[in-house]
């Protein structure tokens, strides 16, 4: 969405938040670098908290521009199937989990009575193409290796050691199964779905910071109002409740942004425009990468490089409701090892378990990255038949019927998202990430992607939105903001040029470089 606001001193401020025209969103969701067993779906949502921060700073003259007909971004729920009384269940396409002790997030959840249940990752049964097959020993082995690998990643960060991808990190720690060991591949996927594409140092850091700071438990949101209710309720604390607040523009598609040292002008697809002193843009990384919005002037090279350097992941949950449950309803997770393809409908989760949606007879299966892109390209019917074929392999003694309801999102087809959540690529520095979050003149940026410690997590968006709103509020009042107990004044730091780790005088025969490439 695009949020703009004006201060109480007639200084218009624009908050450009995460929605762009259809020409990819904050998105929840490319596989994040972390632990799918800890449910990375939590790692993907937009910032929508700067409006509250500005309001708290007595700045009330602002606008919020939102692409969709509701706020919430990648915190996206929908009605699905029905209970015995014909009432639909509410499922989450996007953000679905919260870490129990996340500051602010837990307060909101408790404040608004958000219904949630702790996951139990040890409640898992393992399967292959022949049916039930107990390979829990591999889960235990990986858990031990993971502890060693994570300690190594922490030392690498502290000692400024060159980054690896996660696969290298696990191999050094002792996990290096052959590619044709499909049970081991399934176990690895359950713990880290895309180890080749992810920074080992920063992926581990984001997970450790979240779960060590805020608690080890993931709580799955199963609220019939939808996860976004906490965003809607918080918005209602500074927007009018009885009628739609004129400061909230729904169904507004931003097409262009002009920015300078004097202000920002936002142009929308319906011809309307907004002039503002400042703007906070929380477009998803996917939207920014797809050049959906035209920036005038073009964003500087350092900014464009940072946008394209980071990656947008896709995390797709495929939901099925049956007339009755044919799986053990006292178990939460079911891990499937395809005989041919890593990540092929690998993990099913039951919502029929007590504490979730008991007697709902709902299962969902998760796919990421290439498998997610593949199901997006094919029909619902084809995907459904593939999922049912896997279930029939997993439960060969059961008659698996057609589901009564079936649905899944297509994140990369959503023009306000273009993916689910951001991922930190291997070898990408903290300074490069700072360029992603740095402002360009009066145009500021926020959202989960701009959070260095919590990228991909919903609480990353919360902290980034709050910080950006606080900094702009301070500037409007000719003050410095207090960010993490430090005074922050003016623009955010950025780096025009970022150099590599190998200077030109290292290109020598001693290092195996026998050709003078500069003379070719």
Render pLDDT for 218-268 as a digit per residue (tens, 0 to 9).
888 888 898 888 888 888 888 876 567 888 999 999 999 999 999 999 999
Q: How many C-beta neighbours within 10 Å does residue 246 have?
A: 9
Question: What is the domain extent for residue 268?
Answer: 13-29+43-74+227-310+418-511
Q: What's the pLDDT score for residue 431?
A: 98
Q: How many C-beta neighbours within 10 Å does residue 13 have?
A: 29
d(CA 384, CA 406): 7
| Residue 7, both tokens | 């201060």
Q: What's the pLDDT score for residue 206?
A: 85
Pairing of strands 315-321, 405-407: antiparallel
pTM: 0.87
Residue 146 domain flag: no
The packing angle between helices 301-309 and 430-437, to 10°, is 110
Phi and psi for 296 in degrees, rounded to 5? Answer: -130, 115
The residues that bridge with 273 in the sheet, in sequence order, are 267
Phi/psi class of residue 369: alpha, beta or left (left: φ > 0; alpha: ψ in -120 to 50)? Answer: left
Residue 101 domain flag: no
Residue 317 domain flag: no
The residues that bridge with 79 in the sheet, in sequence order, are 90
d(CA 76, CA 317): 12
Three-state secondary structure call for residue 362: strand
Residue 344 domain flag: no
Phi and psi for 459 in degrees, rounded to 5? Answer: -70, -20
Q: DSSP secondary-structure letter at 398?
A: S
Q: What's the pLDDT score for residue 212?
A: 54
Q: What's the pLDDT score for residue 117?
A: 85
Alpha helices in 236-348 (DSSP H): 285-289, 301-309
Residue 493 domain flag: yes
Residue 119 domain flag: no
d(CA 506, CA 503): 6
Three-state secondary structure call for residue 320: strand
Enclosing H/E stretch for 363? strand 362-368
- As to burial, measured by CB atoms within 10 angstroms (0-12 exposed, 13-18 middle, 19+ buried), residue 140 is exposed
Residue 487 domain flag: yes
Residue 360 domain flag: no
Q: What's the pLDDT score for residue 54?
A: 67
507 near 517, Cβ under 8 Å? yes
388 near 279, Cβ under 8 Å? no
422 near 461, Cβ under 8 Å? no
Q: How far is CA 383 from CA 130, 390, 400, 424, in A?
A: 21, 11, 15, 29
Q: How far is CA 490 from CA 173, 291, 487, in A?
A: 44, 28, 10
Q: What's the pLDDT score for residue 517?
A: 62
Q: What's the pLDDT score for residue 484?
A: 80
Give the residues of the chain that fall short of pLDDT 70. Answer: 1-58, 99-110, 210-216, 241-243, 517-520
Structural domain count, the chain: 1
d(CA 331, CA 321): 17
254 near 65, Cβ under 8 Å? yes
CATH number of the domain enclosing 477: 3.50.50.60
Give the residue from 385, 330, 347, 337 showing the smallest Cα distance to 131: 337
Q: What's the pLDDT score for residue 416?
A: 94
334 near 327, Cβ under 8 Å? yes
Q: What's the pLDDT score for residue 108?
A: 60
Q: What's the pLDDT score for residue 15?
A: 47
47 near 468, Cβ under 8 Å? yes
d(CA 191, CA 343): 12
Q: What's the pLDDT score for residue 235?
A: 84
């Amino acid at each position: 969405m695009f949020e703009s606001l004006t201060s109480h001193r007639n200084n218009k401020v624009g908050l450009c938040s995460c929605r762009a025209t259809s020409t990819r969103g904050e998105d929840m969701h490319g596989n994040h670098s972390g632990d799918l067993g800890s449910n990375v779906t939590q790692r993907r949502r937009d910032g929508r908290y700067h409006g509250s921060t500005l309001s708290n700073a007595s700045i009330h003259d602002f606008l919020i521009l939102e692409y969709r007909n509701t706020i919430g971004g990648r915190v996206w729920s929908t009605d699905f199937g029905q209970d015995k009384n014909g009432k639909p269940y509410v499922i989450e396409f996007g953000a679905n989990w919260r870490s129990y002790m996340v500051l602010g997030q837990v307060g909101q959840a408790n404040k608004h009575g958000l219904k949630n249940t702790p996951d139990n990752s040890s409640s898992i049964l393992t399967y292959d193409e022949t049916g039930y097959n107990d390979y829990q020993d591999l889960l235990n082995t990986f858990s031990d290796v993971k502890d060693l690998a994570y300690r190594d990643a922490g030392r690498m960060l502290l000692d400024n050691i060159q980054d690896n991808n996660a696969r290298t990190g696990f191999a050094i720690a002792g996990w290096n199964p052959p590619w044709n060991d499909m049970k081991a591949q399934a176990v690895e996927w359950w713990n880290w779905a895309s180890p080749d594409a992810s920074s080992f140092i920063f992926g581990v850091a984001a997970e450790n910071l979240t779960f060590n700071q805020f608690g080890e438990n993931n709580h799955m949101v199963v609220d019939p109002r939808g996860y976004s209710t906490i965003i809607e309720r918080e918005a209602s604390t500074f927007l009018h409740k009885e009628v739609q607040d004129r400061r909230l523009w729904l169904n507004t598609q931003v097409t262009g942004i002009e920015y300078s040292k004097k202000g920002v002008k936002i142009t929308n697809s319906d011809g309307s425009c907004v002039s503002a002193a400042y703007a906070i843009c929380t477009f998803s990384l996917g939207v920014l990468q797809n050049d959906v919005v035209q920036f005038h002037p073009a964003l500087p090279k350092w900014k464009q490089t940072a946008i394209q350097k980071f990656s947008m992941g896709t995390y797709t949950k495929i939901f099925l409701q049956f007339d009755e449950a044919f799986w053990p309803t006292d178990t939460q997770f079911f891990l499937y090892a395809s005989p041919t393809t890593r990540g092929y409908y690998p993990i099913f989760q039951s919502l029929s378990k007590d504490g979730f949606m008991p007697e709902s007879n709902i299962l969902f299966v998760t796919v990421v990255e290439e498998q997610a892109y593949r199901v997006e390209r094919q029909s619902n019917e084809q995907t459904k038949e593939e999922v049912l074929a896997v279930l029939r392999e997993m439960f060969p003694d059961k008659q698996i019927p057609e589901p009564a309801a079936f649905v899944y999102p297509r994140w990369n087809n959503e023009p306000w998202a273009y993916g689910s959540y951001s991922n930190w690529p291997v070898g990408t520095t903290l300074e490069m990430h700072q360029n992603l979050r740095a402002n360009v003149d009066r145009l500021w940026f926020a959202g989960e992607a701009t959070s260095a410690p919590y990228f991909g997590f919903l609480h990353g968006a919360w902290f980034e939105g709050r910080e950006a709103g606080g900094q702009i509020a301070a500037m409007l009042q000719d003050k410095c903001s207090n960010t993490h107990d430090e005074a922050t004044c003016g623009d955010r730091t950025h780096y025009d040029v970022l150099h590599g780790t190998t200077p030109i005088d290292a290109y020598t025969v001693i290092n195996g470089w026998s050709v003078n490439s500069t003379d070719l």
